[in-house]
A and B are shown apart, each in its own frame.
Chain A
Amino acid sequence: MFTILIVIIVLAFAFDLINGFHDAANSIATVVSTKVLRPFPAVLWAAFFNFLAYWIFDLKVANTVASTVNGSVISLQVILAGIIAAIIWNLLTWYLGIPSSSSHTLIGGFAGAAVAHTGSFAVINQAVILKTIGFIFLAPIIGMFIAYVISVIILWTCRKANPHHANKWFRRLQLVSSGAFSLGHGGSDSQKVIGIISAAMMVYIANLNAKGIAIPEWAHVSETIDAMGKQHLHVPAWIPISCYTAISLGTMMGGWRIVKTMGTKITKVTPVEGVAAETAGAITLFAVSQGLGVPVSTTHTIAGSIMGVGMTKRLSAVHWGVANNLLIAWVLTIPVSMIIAALVYLGITAMGI
């Protein structure tokens, strides 16, 4: 029991690390391509704000992830299967070059393993899954819309400005906006992992309770419901701190790789466009993950935001063909990771773990 818990926690950190590794490009692409920061400082800057999210964000997303399935019926094997499936799908999509969202993978894997465990779909918290699926479509559109509005506002307020002065100011502002975006990234992405670990801890605690064993201090995870009827997740500080550390480390590792491949994949943006896109991305991440507690993909959000900025110039800046491909990949993510998770679950239970 304890061994499985440790394995889950280690895998969850690995997942978080991969997440930061993958998404480092999103956080630093715009600051680096406008030459506001050189790649290495940019990576440090992003990692720092990833970690800062610990003090800023409520654990709302973590709570949502933890409540994807009905907590009373799951076992640690379910969570283990879910996380293995998520890692498999993430590596697979990375290998095949499909941009998928780690948040959707995690939720899909979690749900799929739970279905395999109970043999019925009733175990899934439909509200959570539906909300998440809804925001697969909504997050990029919200990002796009906000980015368009911000760009138009910037263009109108600065239309009489001297472009060189304005450029200088926007370069400075970009430090702020990219920081805000990394903050949103850390806050929303590492919480998914916090949610998974919390769910595992709660299962572990329930198990100890059933056996009448006292719960150790480090494992005090609980859910409370406040006067408003809202769920709050309480976790010991080591969980979020290590999750935020993992995502920051992942960002730094991924950043190093980007330093090597710089100049090949990064879209050309001006500081003004960078500020507009990052601010819109940050607002979307804050509003959706903090306001509504829904896990969203940072990749989709920033992609949508960059498109929104481009829309002030031309509609063809939106690559509809690419968007279509992405959409298919995104929609596939949840069902496919559910299936993988179910298979992994059946595999590990057959092995008697």
Chain B
Amino acid sequence: MTTRLLRPLALSALLAASQLGLAANVYVSNEKDNTLSVIDSNTLQVVKTIAVGKRPRGITLSKDGKSLYICASDDNTVQVLDLASGKITHNLPSGEDPEQFALTPDGKTLYIANENNNVVTMIDLASRRVAGQVDVGVEPEGMAVSPDGRWAVNTSETTNMAHWIDTRSRQLVDSTLVDQRPRYARFSADGKQLWVSSEVGGTVSVIDVASRKRIHTIRFAITGIPKDRIQPVGIRLTRDGRYAFVPLGPANHVAVIDAKTFQPLKYLLVGRRVWHAEFSADEKQLWVTNGISNDVSLIDVSEQKVIKSIPVGRYPWGVVVSGS
């Protein structure tokens, strides 16, 4: 029996602003429900739920923005969803248990981390065939491709390294030691830095791409939360190089970091066990997935404030925003 008379100003301002822009769809993979939730970024409502393969985790948009690649981990395949029709058009070979992957900037090749057999599989999207495999460390997890397409980086959770794969020769050429259980890797927009989160180590390593050496280690501390609950996973860096956002897993907070000084500025309270994050195309919104509380939280990037949490399916994992 609640009638809303006034909406909080921040929300209405945001709505007004976003209504000027294009309505975007936010896609969330629900690991336990085998579905994808689609949220309208203007109305902030779930508008559709699409059934997909078993245990969907990593998701990413195709270069033309028309399809979505989905790691269906327990089906050992990468599915391709046509966004216009909402239908799975075909499956791609992926190697065993695909969890995270990265698309090359030319949109032609997917680099997939295969957690169970210690390899990275490359898929040629045009021919839908495996283009090659590279042996990496134990339990490959995070995957990133540099903005210039020169490097593909994989993190291995047990070896605790970031592995550098030369995309031209498709060979592993170097590895950089990071802290325990690296889960995720992300290049800065200018391609000069690689950020790697370590879930158990509780840190984010900033690596200089030219020298492939660690130049800084970011540590976190939140009043009232034990250190072992601070488990950084996903990473997003703003294009202007000013801020980084790092979901901290069971700490239920997202860290806002000054990307120039590497100092944490603020911790934003979100739902339980927050893992992955994605910006809207204009970088005004940041969406994060809260795995255990079964919802996603929306952060206003300029205000650095959580404005809403929206229930989705069970164990939301990956998130992408159309147009981003």
- Whether both chains belong to one complex is answered with no
